[in-house]
Amino acid sequence: MIVLSGTIGAGKTSLTQMLADHLGSKAFYESVDDNEILPLFYKNPKKYAFLLQIYFLNKRLDEIKGAFANDTDVLDRSIFEDSLLFGLNADLGRATQTEVEIYDSLLKNMMEELPDEPHKKAPDLMIHIHVSFETMLDRIKKRGRNYEQIETDPSLFDYYKTLNERYVKWYDSYDQSPKISIDGDQFNFVEDPAAAQKVLTMIDDKLDQLSLK
């Protein structure tokens, strides 16, 4: 099982599809466009932060169970990122510390309830896409979801900036599985086919190193 991580607009969905096609495996996507709670969260984060987090937890556990079926299935977000995101919401006053503790405890208990395949509870490889804050903002603007736009809510600027900074620390401390970092600024695989091929080659080399191909 391969999972991707990265901030909003990093290119996780694009690389997930490219990688699944490349490996002949199945792609699992984060529920965004069909997520009824996400727009509500952007309108009223204090009210909906905890509900949104539980929604994502439920969906992500379904994805992990679905990915048990085949080797090298690709998930476009890691469940291990969720505590980072929810912790930031708490620091910004959008959730309480009690809610964070309840969520972390629930995540731990639910992960323990997954089928007895320890090597599948954590990914075989975690691919992190790092992009600069400027690239992040540009991608968010290009994909055009109204509720994500800084022009709609100026407070999102600080939220996005802090989130991008925290992802750097999160990746450095991540130790649940083998990992590889892709520089999404240097290799613009979303728009440049040559860069996309280089990224796939880097991932192939890492999979070969881990004897996963």
> What pLDDT is attached to residue 117?
56
> What pLDDT is attached to residue 62?
82
Rounded to whole angstroms, the Cα distance separating 123 from 177 reads 6
Q: What is the mean pLDDT of the chain?
A: 89
* Tokens 């925290």 -> residue: 166
pLDDT digits (tens, 9 = 90+) for 107-154: 888 888 776 654 456 788 999 999 999 999 999 999 888 888 999 889
pLDDT digits (tens, 9 = 90+) for 193-205: 999 999 999 999 9
Q: Where are the domains of the chain?
A: 2-209
Q: Choosing from 33, 73, 76, 104, which is the catalytic residue?
A: 76
> What pLDDT is attached to residue 163?
92
pLDDT digits (tens, 9 = 90+) for 46-94: 999 999 999 988 888 888 777 766 667 898 888 888 888 899 989 989 9
Contacts of 51 (CB under 8 A, 6+ apart): 37, 41
Tell me the pTM: 0.86
Residues of each annotated binding site for substrate = 30, 42, 53, 77, 82, 148
Phi then psi for residue 37, to 5 deg, are -85, -30
158 carries an active-site annotation: no
Residues of each annotated binding site for ATP = 6-14, 139-143
Q: Which CATH class is domain 2-209?
A: alpha beta
